[in-house]
Amino acid sequence: MPKRFGVLLAGGKGERLRPTTLAVNKHLLPVYDKPMLHYALSTLMLTGVREVAIVVRPRDRHRMARLYGDGSPLGMRIDYVPQAEPRGIVDGMLAARSFIDDRPSVLVLGDNFFFGHGLQGQLAQADDRSSGATILTYRVKDPRAYGVLEIDADGNPIAVEEKPLEPQSDLAITGLYFFDPQVLQFAAELTPSLRGELEVTGLLQRYLQVGQLHQLPLGRGSFWLDMGTESRLLQAANFVQSLQARQGWRICCPEEVAFRKGFIDQAALRRLARRFANPYGRYLEEVAAGMERSS
């Protein structure tokens, strides 16, 4: 199977975080010690993705590029795809269609944070499936704010709903989607919803109709959060601060992920560390030194 291509959605208006997002793209807001975008990019990298298209508003392209450039320092290729007007998740996917071509793909929303024991194994399991669409689901107390998946007694998907008033399930659909190459064909067949967007639930329903929608539930030891509101942004920052302070290592650092996945070597990691004359840079130096001592 061809290597999966990554699409990272970082456009949108950030309306839930205004007035702050009148001045800055929400995906560049700090989540404790790193920008929000680092968390979604790290998730793609943990899947093994090395080619990524970041879909972004034209005015924000140069700001994103200051973070990652062309991706080569991370052993990756990163392109920036303009999306003048946000018209839904599927529209962002279509904006990157020339990069996806006929390859399988994985799409992540730039404000989604994933963490947990066993996550890499589940990402690998989703990546290994060569046909259909695979979504990661997460049990939530109040699913009315999310896309919701209903399943049968065997755990097979039977219905998809967008923010239902009376949910038939507590399984929220997270912002991480694995697709086979037919996704672009299905996406092109969709029509805008009443709010003028190409809805991802419509795309998932299309896969469900042909019996090719699959789900992987994130376990109780996993953490998933949509960071698109003030309270959730604070919750994510508190989680990261507490975990890192307690255990002494940092999470979702793209530089470290690139090193541990074999995208870059120790010398490259050290070059990246020298960009940061602060604790973040010292941490990357310690990662490289620690691996060297153990080799």
Q: Are 214 and 220 in contact (CB under 8 A)?
A: no
Q: pLDDT in tens for each of the 295 residues of the chain? A: 668 899 999 977 666 767 766 677 788 989 999 999 999 999 999 999 999 999 998 888 888 899 999 999 999 999 999 887 777 788 888 999 889 988 999 999 999 999 988 888 899 999 999 899 999 999 988 888 888 898 888 888 888 888 878 878 889 999 999 999 999 999 988 887 777 677 888 899 999 999 999 999 987 788 899 888 888 889 999 999 999 999 889 999 999 999 999 999 999 999 999 999 899 999 999 999 985 544 3
pTM of the model as a whole: 0.92
pLDDT of 14 reads: 62
- Could you give the CA distance from residue 232 to residue 29 in angstroms, rounded to a whole number? 13
Q: Are 80 and 59 in contact (CB under 8 A)?
A: no
Q: Which tokens belong to 160?
A: 């998809």
pLDDT of 22 reads: 63
CA atoms within 13 A on the CB side of 174: 30
pLDDT of 228 reads: 81
- Could you give the CA distance from residue 20 to residue 234 in angstroms, rounded to a whole number? 14
Degrees, nearest 5: CA angle 250-254-260:
80
Single-letter amino acid code for the residue at 118: G
pLDDT of 5 reads: 95
Domains of the chain: residue spans and CATH:
5-143+173-264 (3.90.550.10), 265-295 (no CATH)
pLDDT of 275 reads: 93
Residue 218: which of 116, 106, 110, 105 has the closest Cα?
Answer: 116
Phi, psi of 287 (to 5 degrees): -60, -50
- Could you give the CA distance from residue 84 to residue 200 in angstroms, rounded to a whole number? 19
Degrees, nearest 5: CA angle 35-122-268:
45
pLDDT of 292 reads: 52
pLDDT of 158 reads: 87
